[in-house]
Chain A
Amino acid sequence: MRARAGLVARRRSAGQVVAFVVLVLVAAFFAVPIIWMLLQSTDPSTLPLRPPTFFGPPPTFSVQPWAFGSLHQLASNWDAIFSGHWIGGDTLLWLGNSTFYSTAGAAIAVALCVPAGYGLATHTFPGRRAILTVTMLVMLIPTNALVLPLFLEANSVHLLKSPLAVILPYGLFPFGVYLSYLYFNTNRFNVLLQTARLDGCDEWQAFRRIALPLSLPISALVVFLDFVASWTNFFLPWVMYWSLNTTGRYPVALGVALQLFNGESFGSYLKVLQLHTTSPPSEIALLLLVTSAPVIVVFVLAQRWIGSGQVQGVFR
């Protein structure tokens, strides 16, 4: 409604109407899968009449892609995915793992990024330039690029099955350092800092009393970005846990992938496997929604930073 009011307030032209229609059509492409998941999770059908396979006759689903099932079905799907021994793993445990890894990673990231950005912006010391340059290079490298090297390293120091194998990489967030550096590297902040020093603050006090309280917006941004990136990461936990079949360590992103297997969780590519033969699409649709719910909640909470100038170029 508010959005409409904004539209009316402006003079409408034919061009704007066309733009609006085109955008609505494209928005449908983005929204349909999500609406489909919401509907599917209410189970508009019973089980597939015959398990779908890739070969042979087409699967005969009695599924109506656009129908709403019932809330009762939704509840029973919910019970099914949280039942504890649902298809090779424990959804609740995986969700807990994801929460642990992402929270710990984001906590480390924010605890390191804010002081580092502050130090780089307000102090000069030998090596400062090098650290800044490496930071900018590493933040522009796709996170996947370091996954295999990290696996090889973790393998050599026998950290493969440890939670640290994913938490420490999640804690490294060079973009956060760069953001925090930009945040403190302003004239206004430097004047403030000079004043504090004139008033007799030592280095630690200046950071603790001046910089830290002011860093709240940038800290929130770092936590948000690092949490989302960690939660949706697939490749890193895959090499660390999947390859060794450490099911108990799976984050939920890996647990979801387990769905592709016929109740088995071996890291072998060569096994003959089938898609969702044991759980109906409705349960998996619900699982996907549950999996991504924390990130969506974080998105909504972070609406005011998303799209602000500060975030330019963060999302990739």
Chain B
Amino acid sequence: MSRERPGSLEAVREAAELLGYRLVSARRWKRRRPRLRRVRPQSPRRRSRAGYLFVAGYALLLGVVGLWPAGYALNLALTTFDGAFSGVSNFTGSYNQGFLIPAFENVGKFMLIWLTALIVMVIGLSLLMHTLARRVGAAFRFIFYVPAAFAGSASVLLWLFLLQPGLSPWDFVLHALGYKTLGDTLISGNLPVIYALIAFWTGAGSWILVIHGALTNVPEDVLEAAALDGAGPLQTALRIKLPMIKKWVVYMLIVALAGGTQLFAEPQLVSVANLGLVSPVWSPNTLATYLAFQYNNFNYAAAISIDLLVVALVCAGILVFRTRLFKAD
């Protein structure tokens, strides 16, 4: 950069500017205490109305299918059927029906299993993949990711087959558990485990991408230094790699938590499949749609959707404002 002799006045001036300071006075230079003043970094962004034009289309759509529906749902949640303001009565009403808490308990059980599986398996598998050659790791990553193509209804239908004794490729497992029909497998105590299995089969691969991707960003020289200091693979994993991917693990947990409360396709389809033996209001979302479509009670449905939206917003808010994962500048 500078052709000046290191330590010369010009070199100091340039270095100061690079760091965002301006050399105010060089008089004390001889006493080696130059006066510096912090300069506000000049924004590279242009102050211009043209910015609005670039953002306008997106902002409009964000308003129409993001903010407006949320506002409309809030409005419905705070009013009665004929539009009169009703305070929190829809919230207390939907709560007092007695289905909301069990629904949250159900997804709570599901999430306990699912989040545990995510933590143990995703981190474990990513660490294992990271010890292998890059190409081998990439091959595994692809295998783990492919089931994401069956996300949603396809995976549920597929798993209804995979859980059917006589048809399943894991028939020996079902047999060992004593299940003879699909009805046996789908007993309500099993549902959280089954939904967690489906969610894990379709979703774990994406998280392995994220965590394994974060691991590949751990600088090579740090790992080499650890190896030189005599750290074995286990110690490197626990003391070097894990702390460096911690923020991505936190991210995974919060997003998975927010997503888990939204469970819909699995309980909806399984309840349809299982002759109404499984509660059609198993999760908060199925409860809300049930209220809307079977009872035309849009106000209660809106209240539940606001409950869920608040959970999602709190999770998103923690990620945006309390972690340093997402930077706005």
Contact = CB atoms under 8 A, between A and B. Distances in A.
A311 B209 contact: yes
Interface in A189-229: 190, 194, 197, 203-204, 207, 228
Interface stretch (B13-21, B27-35, B188-196, B259-267): B259-267
Tell me if A's interface is mostly helix, strand, loop or mixed. helix
B160 A275 contact: yes
B111 interface: no
Contacts of A26: 121, 125, 144
B68 A23 contact: no
Contact of A3 (B64, B72, B139, B264): B139
Interface string B252-263: 000110110110
B225 interface: no
A86 B138 CA distance: 40
Counting chain B CB atoms within 10 Å of each CB, which of A133, A171, A307 scores highest? Answer: A307
B72 A66 contact: no
B108 interface: no
Given A142-B262, A312-B214, A172 B150 contact: no
B84 interface: no
Interface in A158-191: 168-169, 171-172, 174, 177-178, 185, 187, 190
A260 B272 contact: yes
Indicate the size class of the contact surface on chain B. 35 or more
Interface string A21-59: 011001101111111110010000000000011111011
Contact of A27 (B144, B151, B206): B144
Contacts of A152: 69, 72-73, 76, 292, 298, 301-302, 305
Interface residues of A, number: 133
Interface in B271-321: 271-277, 280, 285, 288-290, 292-294, 298, 301-302, 304-305, 308-309, 312-313, 315-317, 319-320
Interface of B: 43-55, 57-59, 61-62, 64-70, 72-73, 76, 121, 125, 128-129, 131-136, 138-154, 156-162, 164-171, 180-183, 186, 201, 203-207, 209-210, 212-214, 217, 233, 248, 251, 255-256, 258-259, 261-262, 264-265, 268-269, 271-277, 280, 285, 288-290, 292-294, 298, 301-302, 304-305, 308-309, 312-313, 315-317, 319-320, 325-326, 328-329
19 contacts: A20-B132, A31-B143, A116-B58, A120-B54, A125-B47, A140-B255, A142-B262, A148-B302, A149-B309, A178-B326, A232-B148, A256-B154, A260-B269, A269-B276, A270-B276, A295-B149, A306-B142, A312-B214, A316-B259
Interface of A: 2-3, 5-7, 9-10, 13, 15-16, 19-20, 22-23, 26-27, 29-37, 40, 52-56, 58-61, 63, 65-66, 108, 111-113, 115-116, 118-125, 128-129, 131-138, 140-142, 144-153, 155-156, 168-169, 171-172, 174, 177-178, 185, 187, 190, 194, 197, 203-204, 207, 228, 232-235, 238-239, 243, 253-254, 256-257, 259-261, 267, 269-270, 272-275, 281, 284-285, 288, 291-292, 295-296, 299, 303, 306-309, 311-313, 315-316
